[in-house]
Amino acid sequence: MKFAFSEISLPKRGSLAVPVFADNTLSPMAQDVDDITGGVLSRALETSRFKGKKGDLLEILAPQDMDVSRVVLFGVGEPEDLKLVDFESLGGSLVRKLNTSGARNVTVILDGLESNDLRDNEAAAHVAFGAKLGSYRFAKYKTDEDDASEPSLLRMTVACKASSGARKLFTDLEAIAEGVFLTRDLVSEPANILYPESFADKCRELTSLGVEVEILDEDKMARLGMGALLGVGQGSVRESRMAIMRWNGAPNKKSKKPIAFVGKGVCFDTGGISLKPGPGMEEMKWDMGGAGTVTGLMKALAGRKAKVNVIGVVALVENMPDGNAQRPGDIVTSMSGQTIEILNTDAEGRLVLADALWYTQDRFDPELMIDLATLTGAIIITLGHENAGLFANNDDLADQIFSAGKTVGEGVWRLPMQPEYAKQVKSPIADLQNIGTGGRGAGSIVAAEFLQKFVNDTPWAHLDIAGMAWSKKDTSTVPKGGTGYGVRLLDQFIRKNHEGK
């Protein structure tokens, strides 16, 4: 789909979308359309339940005395209340509606929004951004055209008062959307296609955007002493990999310490010898969601040429039961030197992250480090699918991530860390054990405490995204499947706190 911006005027053909405010007050352009058509809009409003509320949509086909093929009325409620995410939802719902209706071109008129604090160009750019995010599909395995129900919409023009400014802002947003799409693609891809090596190949493709990519194979990781990560992968015929992506965009390149992102990339999690139950196991193809977000984020940052130095590290393994698989009771030595007693082979994410976090900190001495992982089922019990769990050793960092989440509409909620929980991962015969002594209690916190054993004094945050990486229902900007959660959140975090935007 293509996007364009124009000044406010009525289009000659295609479809037209115009705003309606609370209590069905028409925008000036909507009023013009009503006049031209001899009151078609007013009559349509009278006979429907449309109230001009945020999210209301009403489609009028073949309006009389106009060449446009349809007029879509969109409710905006009280315009002064609209936030960026509302404009994104608007774009997303329009695109989703029109894609199934046969429309090919639409002009969205943003008029009558003077009372809104946002600048016109921002509002317009975010309508297009939301539309782009909502237009995503994962249809590559649909071979039957009819079944795939090809979307009809090819072009959206957003008409606003500041179209050249909007066009400029949208360039960056489009790069971010491309990052989100890469994450969604990776997360939705099945594990017979996306496994550690092929995932690493996907990372390598980012070199075309100027990202430096380095891949560690099993020999290299063994020499580095990554016994925790390698233990998880040893039951799989697919070899483990670690991919390191670097984007050096800071103006005074060398001097600036990088910001590091680390992702759990378990390309399939059967649980290993501590095998998971069969029903629902297919979901574990998206247990690489953290790595997917880190990779999509690198694409977004490189795509918009972010003025910051960033490292993205993804730890890629497959957790399988096998004659060669790791057993409950095994003791492995992590790169940090700490030994770990494996009491449950299904608590594997923390094992791969242990070595990935240590490696990242040891090699790059980052200014701060944020990891993302579909780490625990318990976080879904705690927070459902509305917020990721946030854990941090630094209050400022936690606050910054929280407020970035508010801005872009990707929720995070902080949970506590304290020594009482950390005690639970001490093993009687090794330094650590990979599950807590507290049974099902505080599972997500105990997992975070385990991770913290591999972080020194680097400011660090951990996002447990098990409830966020995948969605079973459509929303206006996030179709069901891989959500791409975290790319916009962390892009905003960087933009706000590390690029002075």
Q: Where does this chain bind Zn ion (CB under 5 A)?
A: 266, 269, 287, 349
CA 153 vs CA 98, 125, 175, 397: distances in Å: 6, 18, 20, 41
| 318 counts as binding ligand BES under rule CB under 6 A | no
Please check whether residue 85 is in contact with residue 408, taking contact to mean a CB–CB distance below 8 angstroms.
yes
Among 214, 215, 136, 143, residue whose Cα is nearest residue 179: 136
Of 248 and 382, nearer to ligand BES (C-beta) is 382
271: region left, alpha or beta (phi > 0 left; psi from -120 to 50 alpha) = left
Residue nearest to Mn ion (CB): 346
Return the exposure string of 337-364: e unless at least 16 CB atoms fall within 10 Å of the residue's CB, then b: ebbbbbbebbbbbbbbbbbbbbbbbeeb
Contact 407, 84 (CB under 8 A): yes
With CB atoms as reference, the residue minimizing the distance to ligand BES is 377
Binding ligand BES by CB under 6 A: which of 11, 165, 328, 377?
377
Out of Mn ion, Zn ion, ligand BES, none, what residue 249 binds, judged by CB under 5 to 8 A for its kind, is none
In angstroms, what is the minimal distance from the CB of 333 to ligand BES?
A: 21
By beta-carbon proximity to ligand BES, the closer residue of 18 and 353 is 353
Query: For the window 322-351, what string marks contact with Mn ion as x by the rule CB under 5 A?
Result: ------------------------x-x---
Stretch that binds ligand BES, among 75-83, 370-378, 396-404, 478-486 (CB under 6 A): 370-378
Two structure tokens written together for 336: 């940090």
Q: How far is the CB of 271 from Mn ion (least distance, A)?
A: 5
Q: How far is the CB of 319 from Mn ion (least distance, A)?
A: 6
Binding mask 340-359 for ligand BES (x = CB under 6 A): ----x-xxxx----------
Which partner, Zn ion, Mn ion, ligand BES, none, binds residue 443 by CB below 5 to 8 Å per kind? ligand BES
435 interface partner picked from Mn ion, Zn ion, ligand BES, none, CB below 5 to 8 A per type: ligand BES
Q: What are phi and psi of 473, to 5 degrees?
A: -130, 150
464 binds Mn ion (CB under 5 A): no
Q: Least distance (Å) from ligand BES to the CB of residue 434?
A: 8
Is residue 263 part of the contact set for ligand BES (CB under 6 A)? Answer: no
* Contacts of Mn ion in 260-289 (CB under 5 A): 269
Interaction between residue 378 and ligand BES (CB under 6 A): yes
**CB distance 179 to 247 below 8 Å:** no
Query: How many residues belong to the site for ligand BES (CB under 6 A)?
Result: 14
Cβ contacts of 146 within 8 Å, gap of 6 or more: none
Could you say whether residue 355 binds Mn ion (CB under 5 A)?
Answer: no
Q: Enumerate residues 61-90 that contact ligand BES by CB under 6 A.
A: none
- In angstroms, the CA 382 to CA 443 distance is 10
Query: Side chain identity at 406, as an amino acid letter?
Result: K
* Residues annotated as part of the active site: 276, 350
* Closest CA relative to residue 85, chosen from 408, 429, 437: 408
Task: Determine the Cα angle at 242 with ends 239 and 248, to 5°.
Answer: 155
Residue 237: count of CB within 10 angstroms of its CB: 9
Q: Which residue is nearest to Zn ion (CB)?
A: 269
- The torsion angles phi and psi of 432, rounded to 5 degrees, stand at -135, 160
The phi-psi region of residue 182 (left if phi > 0; otherwise alpha if psi is between -120 and 50; otherwise beta) is alpha
Pick the piece of the chain touching ligand BES (CB under 6 A) from 119-127, 165-173, 179-187, 339-347.
339-347
Interface with Mn ion includes 318 (CB under 5 A)? no
Binding site for ligand BES (CB under 6 A): 269, 287, 344, 346-349, 374, 376-378, 435, 443, 466
Binding site for Mn ion (CB under 5 A): 269, 346, 348
